[in-house]
A = this chain, B = another copy of it.
Amino acid sequence: MINYPNGVKKNKKVQHPKTFDGNKNRGMVFEDKINTSNEIYRTKNVAIIYKKPTPIKVVKITNTGLKQGKITEAYYERPSTTDYNGIYRQKYIDFEAKETLNKTSFPMHNIHAHQIEHLSRIKAMGGISFLIVSFRAFNEVYILDAGVVEKYNHTTRRSIPYEVIKKEGILVPQGYVIRIDYLKAVDELYFKEK
């Protein structure tokens, strides 16, 4: 194994692009929990929600003699929308999942402006759209409606204070079967008294 000048080893273990930013694999663990929760929701016929594949720009495919070629040059692309979408209680549902180690606020620098715009547009169209944010330090997960996210996107700091999320968001129950039972929070935020 060769050490490159910047200390990164060649052919290192494959990491999700989101884990490149110093959050190690924490982001993946949170996403994995959401993914397994979605599997259970699908199995129980509660909702059909999937994570969208990460977009990858393929530059070169090398023939292998097999039916399908091997991709030998490709790059991660910036997603044009959000992580998850699907159908729940006959509604279109769309959300972005993020985790932070910060204890006082959720810094929005790790959401692209066009993703927030996407959430706002979904809301305006009559869909359910929100951010699901995990505060790692407190082991707390909240959903926060796109309207609140949009509001704080226009502040100079581009961060949402923890207290705002606690007050305006809905705490997501976490369990052993459904790890991140966010549809309970969705029920409370979007379907109460209906």
Any chain B CB within 8 A of the CB of A5?
yes
**Contact for A8 among B50, B59, B63, CB less than 8 A:** B63
The 8 A CB mask of A1-21 against B (1 = contact, 0 = none) is 000111011111011010010
Instruction: Point out the residues of chain B lying under 8 angstroms from A73, CB to CB.
Output: 70-72
Q: Which residues of B contact A5 (CB under 8 A)?
A: 65
Chain A 66-78, CB within 8 Å of chain B: the 1/0 string?
0111111111100
A–B pairs, 17, beta carbons within 8 Å = A5-B65, A6-B65, A12-B69, A14-B58, A47-B125, A48-B121, A48-B127, A50-B80, A56-B58, A56-B74, A70-B74, A71-B76, A72-B72, A74-B74, A87-B94, A90-B126, A90-B127
Q: Which of A111-159 contact B (CB under 8 A)?
A: 118, 121-122, 125-127
Taking the closest CB of chain B, its distance from the CB of A60, in whole angstroms, is: 6
* CA–CA, A15 and B69, complex, Å: 10
Residues from chain B with a CB closer than 8 A to the CB of A8 are 63
Which of B9, B47, B53 meets A63, CB within 8 Å? B9
With CB as the reference atom, state the residue of chain B lying closest to A2: B63
Q: Are B50 and A53 in contact (CB under 8 A)?
A: no
The reply on A55 being an interface residue by CB < 8 A is yes
Answer whether residue A162 sits at the interface, using C-beta atoms and an 8 A cutoff: no
Query: A: which residues have CB within 8 A of B?
Result: 4-6, 8-12, 14-15, 17, 20, 45, 47-48, 50, 52-56, 58-63, 65, 67-76, 79-81, 85-87, 90-94, 118, 121-122, 125-127
Q: Contacts A50-B80, A58-B56, A65-B5 given; indicate if A87 touches B11 (C-beta within 8 A).
A: no
**Known A-B contacts A50-B80, A54-B53, A87-B127; A71 and B75 likewise in contact (beta carbons under 8 Å):** yes
User: Smallest CB-CB separation from A10: which chain B residue?
Assistant: B63
Apart from A70-B74, A85-B86: 11 A-B pairs, beta carbons within 8 A: A4-B63, A9-B63, A11-B63, A14-B58, A50-B80, A53-B54, A53-B79, A58-B74, A87-B92, A87-B125, A90-B91
